[in-house]
Amino acid sequence: MKHLSDLHRLLLIITLVQSGRLFDPVSLARQCGVTKRTIFRDIDKLKLTGIPINFDHTLGAYRIDGEFYLQPLQLTADEALALTAMCEHVAAAGQIPFLRPAARALEKIRAQLPAQLDEDLARITSHLVIQTAPAGPADGHADVYERIRAAIANRAALECEYESPRRKTGERFIFEPYALFYGVRAWYAIGRHGGHDEVRCLKLKRFGPIAETDRKYRIPADFSVRDYLGNAWAMIPGKPECEVELELDAAIAETLADTRWHATQEIDELPDGSAIFRCTVSGLDEIVWWILSLGPSCRVNKPKALADRVRDLAKKTAALYTRSKA
């Protein structure tokens, strides 16, 4: 990760120097978020690769001599609009925590766009809004995000404590993170949980004390988040793999059919406006709550285990409104 960051910084220095603006060691250090000493080392590295970058004492800034140039960024109007919309409305607005650096990157990109295109973007994006599902505040677990991200980069196992919904404190365990994953409303870390000796998906905000260890680990070459999630309804895969069939009444069938709720879903619309919803899910813990949210407009045809769980939970919910208060 360190070498990758160095490469990005070297490319940024070239881009800034070629932008037409004047950059001395202090301003380059500020733009790159490093010290002047690091900038001096970076300049030496660029010279060693044959890039003719030198400090012009007359200008008081660096310049690249000769005909060397870094190909300028070229975006189509559609590409620039999509990038701007994502960075401004999702990253800068904090809808997905920890993505604000993307908004800063956008500022650097827009500084190099043709003036007319930048003006068009400002006008268009003021009439474009992206609203994701509300996420919890990042305050309180930003350090967890950074430690896990660093652990993945350095392949250094973590010593952790985790609060489950059923137990507020837990024993210390070794965690080997494979990936950070944002699902619907929150960030998760997927990796090998030493206490259970299996791969688990853990919610970042539930981590307690966390510290990097000297223990190194490997991420399996064939690991992928997609494969791990499999046919999970949302982000927590379970067992067994179940064929689900739901009967939707006409009041909600058309609305639900307009949305892709699951990768495996199939919807058969019936002449009376109702519909049959089918999908294959890994585990029932997540889908049961989605079905309950549909109320009496949805009936579980199969599997029986799912129908029984929905019925029992619905009875308990109804009991809250029939029980007399003392």
| 211 CB-contact burial (10 Å; exposed 0-12 / middle 13-18 / buried 19+) | exposed
Q: Identify the pLDDT of residue 3.
A: 40
pTM for the structure as a whole: 0.67
What pLDDT sits at residue 114?
Answer: 74
- In this predicted structure, what is the pLDDT of residue 326? 52
Residue 318 is classified by DSSP as H
pLDDT at residue 216, rounded to an integer: 95
Element (H, E) at 148: helix 142-154
pLDDT of residue 2: 43
CB 161 within 8 A of CB 209: yes
Q: In whole angstroms, what is the distance from residue 192 CA to residue 175 CA?
A: 6
| Ranges of residues in the chain whose predicted pLDDT is under 70 | 1-5, 67-73, 136-140, 165-170, 323-326
What single letter denotes the amino acid at residue 167? R
What does the pLDDT read at residue 68? 65
- Taking the C-alpha atoms of residue 97 and residue 187, their distance in angstroms, rounded to an integer, is 8
